Amino acid sequence: MAKRAPNRDSSGEDAPLLGGFQTGFFGDELVAKKPVLAEKLASSAKVSKLAKEGQASKEGKPAKGAMSAKQSPENAGPVQEIRVGKVERSAAKPAPKPAAKADAKAGGKAGGKGGSKSGSRSPNALDRFVVLCGSEEFLRALHTKALKEALAAAYGEIDVARFDGLSCTPAEILDECRSFGLIARHKLVVVDDADEIVKEVNRPIFERYAHSLAQQDPADVGATLLFRCGVWRAGKLDQLICEVGVVLACEALKEPQAIGWATVRAAKRYFATFGAGAAEMLVERVGTDMGRLDGEIAKLSAVALGEALAKEAVAKEKMGTAGNAAVSDAGALTAEQVPSAEACVISREMIAKWVGLSREEDAWTIQSALLNATPGQSVAFLRELLDVSREPAVKVAYSVTDLARKVNAATSATKAGLNPNEIASKLRLWGPAKDGVMHAAARVSPAATLKAYRACVNMDKRSKSGFCGIDEGLERMVLQVSTMLNSKN
């Protein structure tokens, strides 16, 4: 490249030196012409050379870029041209961490990793991203409580921030995760209905956040992000979360699992035991919902405790000693007065008295009772639905009327010679209900079924108009339909 002309003023003389020396540019190289500057740069180069030679002697190899005697700035003339070309700057390597901190980080990573989609472990204080997904809400609540206790044990007091996935944005959630608390050392950020916010558009945002957590020491992250939802769609995000936390499935229990869980829950949480067949009866009546089971176990354990105290008081009275009969509040008992778990037994009789059917299909089970029971048994089952299970009377009345309508339609269609499968399809019948209705339609006349159906409609109308009570009207409807189904013409 051609040399650039020196700076000159209007008289043609050389321009004054800038800062004591004159500068000129050859591409991107700086040329400095000044003896004093040359001496300073030569001294700096000498110090740099000595440092490089010293470092190289330690490593047993010559210094890279070391200058020969002829190239040394000390042998240069009074005016020397020193070129400082393009400098390649390499990123400085960070100093190695102390062994203790490195071990702590390795331990934190090992503790934070290991999460799996199969739910092989519970969340712990080292997890920084946790997903609790599944239909069992009570189990999600238990794991959330356990995670709070673990964080509190590790960090002391913690802050809890809650978000609704239906209304919040990813920015609000991540800003809360990355901000510092005022007092607490750690915070737990809970997002309910998280599946609504982790959509296709937002999923990469949380993937990048999970990836960034994997690059940090868990001790340096001041927040734990907790996603809770009923439905969770697996993908790449799960793999990234498992590097720093866990994805735990909280699905509904099967009946054998629910029976085992109820037995353990009663013994460990409420200090009571189930009698023979009592746990199976409880699950049969309540279902496998863990929240309902826990509530019923708490109630039954209190009843069992009262009965145990009463028996103990009677036994002590016979022995002539003061008993605990005067103690009415279990919370006022001392440790010595509380009976053992073996003494607090939950029996089948206790469950039959205090626990009603609480499955979601309870109101519709009246149809099965009407198809298979006598009129007296049907009325007894109706009273159990209304008094123990607390089912709405209007819902039960609709169920009874619906059964009368289906039997009347099936009877008329059968007498007309239609195919039974076609009849069941039109009436939306399947399973045991299909067999019961079609069996009744084959032996009962259309006139009898029509009479029962009209009686149900009229009784429902009278109860809603105030001419009779809803309970009385329901009993009459059940008697009418059950009598018709048990007839043979």
Task: Give the pLDDT of residue 255.
Answer: 92
Residue pLDDT tens, the chain, 489 long: 444 444 444 444 444 433 333 444 333 333 344 444 445 445 555 545 554 555 444 445 444 444 444 444 344 444 333 333 333 333 333 433 333 333 333 333 333 343 444 456 889 999 999 999 999 999 999 999 999 999 999 999 899 999 999 999 999 999 999 998 778 889 999 999 999 999 888 999 999 999 999 999 988 899 999 999 999 988 999 999 999 999 999 999 999 999 999 999 999 999 999 999 999 999 988 889 999 999 999 999 999 988 888 887 777 777 765 444 444 444 455 545 556 656 789 999 999 888 876 665 566 788 888 888 888 899 988 888 888 677 888 889 999 999 999 999 999 998 888 888 888 888 888 777 788 888 888 888 899 999 999 999 999 888 888 888 888 889 999 999 999 988 876
Contact by Cβ (8 Å): 474, 386: yes
Q: Report the alpha-carbon distance of residue 399 to residue 408 in Å, rounded.
A: 14
Q: Report the alpha-carbon distance of residue 279 to residue 346 in Å, rounded.
A: 9
Minimal CA–CA distance to 224: which of 138, 131, 143, 153?
A: 131
Task: Give the pLDDT of residue 269.
Answer: 92
| Two domains, one topology: 110-249 and 362-486 | no
- Using a 10 angstrom Cβ sphere, with 0-12 exposed, 13-18 middle and 19 or more buried, the burial of residue 313 is middle
Pairing mode of beta strands 29-33, 22-26? antiparallel
Pairing mode of beta strands 29-33, 82-84? antiparallel
Cα dihedral 434, 440, 446, 451, rounded to 10, equals: -100
Task: Give the pLDDT of residue 453.
Answer: 92
Minimal CA–CA distance to 150: which of 170, 169, 130, 165?
A: 130
Task: Give the pLDDT of residue 143.
Answer: 95
Three-class DSSP category at 450: helix
Structure tokens at 306: 């009262």
Minimal CA–CA distance to 302: which of 329, 276, 337?
A: 329
Token pair 């769609």 is found at 233
Classify residue 67 as left (phi > 0), alpha (psi -120 to 50) or beta.
beta
Q: Report the alpha-carbon distance of residue 76 to residue 244 in Å, rounded.
A: 61
CA 369 to chain centre: 39
Structure tokens at 185: 């050392």
Q: Report the alpha-carbon distance of residue 275 to residue 4 in Å, rounded.
A: 104
CB-facing half-sphere around the CA of 73: CA atoms within 13 A: 21
Task: Give the pLDDT of residue 15.
Answer: 42
Could you please report the per-residue DSSP string of 21-58?
BEEEEETTEEEEE-HHHHHHHHHHHHHHHHHHHHHHHH
Q: Where are the alpha helices (DSSP H) in 159-202?
A: 170-178
Three-class DSSP category at 94: coil
110-249: which CATH topology?
Rossmann fold (3.40.50)
Task: Give the pLDDT of residue 113.
Answer: 42
SS (H, E, C) 248-305: EECCCCCHHHHHHHHHHHHHHHCCCEECCCHHHHHHHHHCCCHHHHHHHHHHHHHHHH
**How many of the other CB atoms lie within 10 Å of CB of 24?**
14
**What residue ranges do the domains of the chain occupy?**
22-66+73-83, 110-249, 255-354, 362-486
Q: Report the alpha-carbon distance of residue 9 to residue 11 in Å, rounded.
A: 6
Q: The whole model's pTM is what?
A: 0.55
Classify domain 362-486 by CATH number: 1.20.272.10
